Amino acid sequence: MNLKPLSDRVILKAMEAEEKTKGGIILTGDAKEKPEVAEVVAVGPGGMVDGKEVVMTVKAGDKVLTSKYSGTEVKVDGEKYTIVRQNDILAIVE
Q: What CATH number does the domain located at 9-93 have? A: 2.30.33.40
Entry pTM: 0.78
Q: In the chain, where are the structural domains located?
A: 9-93
Q: Give residue 15's pLDDT.
A: 82
- Whether residue 3 is predicted with pLDDT greater than 70 in this model: the reply is yes
| pLDDT digit string, tens, across residues 28-66 | 555 445 558 999 999 999 988 889 999 999 999 999 999
Question: Which range (6-20, 33-47, 70-84) has the least confidence?
Answer: 6-20
Q: Tell me the HSE value of 22 on the side-chain side, using a 13 A CA sphere.
A: 0
Counting Cα atoms < 13 Å in the Cβ hemisphere of 27 gives 14
